[in-house]
C-alpha cells in the first residue's frame, strides 16, 4: 500500500487492471463491465485512504468518453429526430424529469442531505458524468471552504451506494416485463423491419417497360437496393447517371432477400445462377482511410468514381446498401464494382491503409474537445443568483454531436476512425472511473457502517424502479413502441451500456440499439442538468 501511496501512476494502472478483470466475471449472466473499475477504486482507497489520483485524470477521462460518444451518435441522433426520435426522446426526457421530482420528494421526506441526495440520483440513474457535474457544481454553491471540504466526497459515496441496484433493478424489470407482456422478439424485429438480414446479389431480367433511370429506381420504386451492373448484348457496364434500362437487360441487384423479391416483381424476372460469374467487371472490398472522401454524400463523389460504383458499406459489423445520400466514414469497408484495370485507381481513391488509420490526425479531436470544454464553462443563470454549467461532460457532448453530424468542415474531418473511437471511449471511461473512485475511499468506509447508507440505497432503488416501470409500461403499452425498442430507450435513459448489452443479447436484434442511440445524447445532457438543478433546489 505504501508503494501505491508514493506512485500514483502505479495505483491508477493497478486499479484499472483489477477493475477490468473483475468486470469480466459473469454472475447469473450479468457482469459489471467497466463499471467494476469504480468499485475497485473505492475498495482500494477504503483500505488505504491516502492513495490518491490527480483530479485532472478523471476530468480528461470523462471529457474523452462523452466526446467520442457524441462523435459517433451525432449523425444518427439528428436523423432520428425526423422520424422516431421526437417520440422516443419525449418518453426518456419525461421519465427523467419525473424521476428527479420523485427524488426531490423522497430526499425531503427522509431528510437526506443535499450533496448525498444529488449523488444518489446520479447513482439511481447510473450516470457518472452527472455525478461529476454535481461535484463540479458544489464550489459555486457552497462558500464556506470547511463545509465544502466536508461535503465534497458525499456525492461520490451516495452514487456508489445507489449505483449497483441502479443497474440490477433495470435489468430485472426488463426481464420480468418481457415475460409478463409475452414478447416475441423475432416477430417484433420482423414487423419493425430490423431483423438481421444478409445482403445478396441477384440477376433480374427486365421485362417491364417505362422504368425510371437506373439511378432513380430505388427512390421512385421505393426499393432499398442498388443496381451494381447492367448486362446488355453480352456486355456488362456500370450504370451512370441518366442511363435507362431496356427490356431484355440483365441487372445485377444488391439488397436483402425481401427487397430483392419486391424488386423482381417491379422490374422483371429472376435469372438463376451466380450473379458474379463470367464477369467483365471486377469487385473488391476496400478499406476507407482517405480523409478527403469522408463526410461527403456518395452522390457528390460520383465524378471522382466515374466508371466505378460503391455498392455496399460495412460499418463495424453491419452491412449497408450504399445509398446516394450516405457518407463514408474512416474505417468503413466498401465493396466497389469496377473494370479490373481500374481497381488500383479505386484503391488509391479510398486509401485502403490500416497504417494511415492508426496514425489518424489528432488535431481535430483535441480542437473539438477544447471547444466542448469552453462550452461547458458557460454559466446558465438560475433564480437566486446561482448558476449551473454543462461542465466537462455536457459541453464536449453537445459539441461532439454537432461536429459528428457535420462530419467535416472544409478540409477538417471531425470524425475519427471507428476502431480508434471505441478504444478512446473505453480508455476515457476507465480513467474516469478509476480516478473518481479514489476520491471517496475514507468516506465510503464510514458510510458502510452508517444507517443513513441504507436510507440512500433504499431511496435510490425506488427512483430506479420508478423510471424502469414508467418507461416500460408507458412506452410499450400506451405509446405502442415495440418492447425491444422500449427496453433500448430505458437503457439509453439510464445511459448504461451494460443494460443495452443485456437487452441486445436477449432480443438478438437491432431494436434495442435503435432505441438506445435515439435517446442517449439527450438523456446524458438532461441528467447532467437535472442533477445540478436538484442540488440547487435542495441547498
Minimum mean pLDDT range among 131-140, 185-194, 440-449, 511-520? 440-449
Residue range 7-16: mean pLDDT, rounded: 91
**Residues 220, 81 within the same domain:** no
Choice among 29-43, 254-268, 314-328 with the minimum mean pLDDT: 29-43
Contact 253, 204 (CB under 8 A): yes
Q: Is residue 65 part of a domain?
A: yes
* Domain limit, last residue, from 357, 387, 422: 357
All three cell numbers of 116, joined, read: 448525498
- Check whether residue 457 and residue 504 sit in a common domain: yes
* Region 331-358 average pLDDT: 85
Average pLDDT value for residue range 453-463: 92
Residue 269 counted as domain residue: yes
CA neighbours closer than 13 Å in the CB half-sphere of residue 408: 15
Both 69 and 210 in one domain: the answer is no
Answer yes or no: do 153 and 18 share one domain.
yes
Mean pLDDT of 301-314: 86
pLDDT digits (tens, 9 = 90+) for 495-519: 876 677 678 767 877 788 778 878 8
Q: Are residues 173 and 102 both part of a single domain?
A: yes
Q: Are residues 269 and 133 in the same domain?
A: no
Pick from 357, 392, 424: which residue ends a domain?
A: 357
Confidence category of residue 525, pLDDT binned at 50, 70, 90: confident
| 315 domain-assigned | yes
Q: What is the pLDDT of residues 425-440, one digit of tens each?
A: 889 888 888 887 787 6
Residue 277 within a domain: yes
228: pLDDT confidence band, cut at 50, 70 and 90? confident
Strand 318-321 and strand 408-409: the pairing is unpaired
Q: Please check whether residues 399 and 351 belong to one and the same domain.
A: no
Residue 149 lies in a domain: yes
In the chain, % of residues over pLDDT 70:
92
Q: Which of 137, 138, 156, 186 is nearest to 53 (CA)?
A: 156
Question: Which percentage of the chain shows pLDDT scores above 90?
Answer: 21
- In this predicted structure, the answer to whether residue 230 has a pLDDT above a threshold of 80 is yes
Structural domain boundaries, residue 284:
200-357
Q: How far apart are CA 35 and CA 498, in angstroms?
A: 9
- Count of structural domains within the chain: 2
Q: Report the predicted TM-score, pTM, of the whole model to 2 decimal places.
A: 0.73
- 432: cell is 474516469
- Same domain for 185 and 205, yes or no, is no
241 shares its domain with 132: no
Residues paired with residue 327 on neighbouring β-strands, in sequence order: 297
Residue 130 in any domain: the answer is yes
Give the pLDDT band (50/70/90) at residue 29: low
In a domain, 488, yes or no: yes
- Neighbouring residues of 142: CB distance < 8 A, sequence distance ≥ 6: 148, 151, 539
Residue bearing the bigger pLDDT, 166 or 110: 110
The rounded distance, in Å, linking the Cα atoms of 516 and 513 is 5
CA pair distance 467, 420, nearest whole angstrom: 34
Domain finish residue from 327, 357, 387: 357
Whether 466 has a pLDDT exceeding 90, the answer reads yes
- Give me the pLDDT at residue 23, please: 82
pLDDT for position 460 = 94
CA distances from 180 to 125, 173, 174, 183, 486 (A): 24, 10, 10, 8, 15
**Do 383 and 489 have their domain in common?**
yes
Q: How far apart are the first and last CA of the chain?
A: 38
Q: Domain with 206 in it: what CATH number?
A: 3.30.70.1450
pLDDT of residue 382: 63
Is a pLDDT exceeding 90 seen at residue 374?
yes
Q: Are the C-beta atoms of residues 397 and 524 closer than 8 Å to each other?
A: yes
Residue 384 has pLDDT above 60, yes or no: no
If asked whether residues 321 and 383 sit together in one domain, one would say: no
The overall average pLDDT reported for the chain is 84
364 assigned to some structural domain: no
The residues facing 229 across adjacent strands are 252
Element (H, E) at 285: strand 282-287
For residue 193, is pLDDT > 70?
no
> By three-state DSSP, how is residue 462 classified?
helix
Q: Are residues 476 and 396 in the same domain?
A: yes
Alpha-carbon distances of 90 from 471, 483, 489, 521, rounded to whole Å = 11, 17, 11, 13
Is 126 in contact with 163 (CB distance < 8 Å)? Answer: yes
Amino acid at each position: 500500500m505504501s508503494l501505491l501511496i508514493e506512485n500514483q501512476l502505479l495505483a491508477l494502472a493497478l486499479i484499472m487492471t483489477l477493475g477490468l478483470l473483475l468486470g469480466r466475471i459473469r454472475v447469473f449472466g450479468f457482469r459489471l463491465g467497466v463499471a467494476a473499475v469504480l468499485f475497485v477504486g473505492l475498495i482500494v482507497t477504503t483500505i488505504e485512504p491516502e492513495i490518491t489520483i490527480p483530479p485532472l485524470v478523471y476530468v480528461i477521462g470523462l471529457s474523452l468518453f462523452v466526446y467520442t460518444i457524441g462523435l459517433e451518435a451525432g449523425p444518427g441522433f439528428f436523423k432520428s429526430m425526423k422520424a422516431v426520435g421526437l417520440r422516443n426522446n419525449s418518453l426518456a426526457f419525461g421519465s427523467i424529469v419525473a424521476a428527479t421530482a420523485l427524488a426531490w420528494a423522497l430526499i425531503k421526506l427522509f431528510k437526506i442531505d443535499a450533496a448525498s441526495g444529488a449523488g444518489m440520483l446520479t447513482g439511481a440513474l447510473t450516470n457518472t458524468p452527472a455525478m461529476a457535474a454535481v461535484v463540479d457544481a458544489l464550489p459555486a454553491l457552497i462558500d464556506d471552504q470547511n463545509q465544502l471540504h466536508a461535503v465534497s466526497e458525499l456525492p461520490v459515496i451516495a452514487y456508489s451506494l445507489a449505483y449497483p441496484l441502479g443497474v440490477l433493478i433495470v435489468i430485472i424489470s426488463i426481464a420480468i416485463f418481457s415475460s409478463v407482456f409475452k414478447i416475441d422478439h423475432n416477430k417484433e424485429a420482423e414487423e419493425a423491419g430490423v431483423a438481421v438480414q444478409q445482403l445478396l446479389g441477384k440477376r433480374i431480367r427486365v421485362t417491364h417497360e417505362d422504368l425510371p433511370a437506373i439511378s432513380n429506381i430505388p427512390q421512385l420504386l421505393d426499393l432499398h437496393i442498388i443496381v451494381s451492373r447492367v448486362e446488355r448484348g453480352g456486355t456488362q457496364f456500370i450504370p451512370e447517371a441518366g442511363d435507362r434500362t431496356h427490356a431484355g437487360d440483365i441487372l445485377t441487384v444488391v439488397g436483402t432477400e425481401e427487397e430483392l423479391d419486391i424488386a423482381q416483381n417491379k422490374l422483371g424476372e429472376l435469372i438463376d445462377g451466380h450473379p458474379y460469374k463470367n464477369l467483365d467487371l471486377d469487385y473488391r472490398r476496400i478499406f476507407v482511410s482517405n480523409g478527403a472522401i469522408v463526410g461527403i454524400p456518395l452522390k457528390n463523389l460520383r465524378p471522382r468514381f466515374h466508371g466505378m460504383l460503391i455498392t455496399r458499406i460495412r460499418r463495424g459489423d453491419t452491412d449497408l446498401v450504399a445509398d446516394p445520400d450516405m457518407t463514408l466514414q474512416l474505417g468503413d469497408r466498401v465493396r466497389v464494382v469496377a473494370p479490373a484495370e481500374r481497381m488500383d485507381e479505386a484503391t488509391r481513391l479510398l486509401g485502403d491503409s490500416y497504417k494511415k488509420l492508426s496514425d489518424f490526425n489528432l488535431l481535430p479531436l483535441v480542437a473539438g474537445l477544447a471547444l466542448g470544454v469552453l462550452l461547458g464553462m458557460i454559466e446558465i443563470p438560475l433564480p437566486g443568483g446561482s448558476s449551473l454549467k454543462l461542465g466537462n461532460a455536457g459541453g464536449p457532448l453537445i459539441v461532439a454531436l454537432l461536429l459528428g453530424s457535420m462530419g467535416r468542415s472544409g478540409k477538417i474531418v471531425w470524425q475519427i476512425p471507428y476502431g480508434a473511437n471505441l478504444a478512446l471511449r473505453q480508455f476515457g471511461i476507465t480513467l474516469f472511473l478509476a480516478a473518481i473512485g479514489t476520491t471517496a475511499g475514507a468516506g465510503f468506509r464510514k458510510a458502510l457502517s452508517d444507517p443513513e447508507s441504507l436510507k440512500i440505497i433504499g431511496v435510490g432503488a425506488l427512483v430506479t424502479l420508478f423510471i424502469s416501470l414508467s418507461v416500460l409500461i408507458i412506452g410499450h403499452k400506451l405509446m405502442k413502441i415495440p418492447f425491444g425498442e422500449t427496453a433500448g430507450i430505458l437503457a439509453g435513459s439510464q445511459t448504461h451500456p451494460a443494460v443495452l448489452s443485456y437487452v441486445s443479447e436477449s432480443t438478438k436484434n437491432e431494436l434495442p440499439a435503435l432505441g438506445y442511440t435515439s435517446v442517449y445524447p439527450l438523456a446524458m445532457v438532461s441528467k447532467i442538468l437535472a442533477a445540478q438543478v436538484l442540488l440547487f433546489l435542495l441547498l
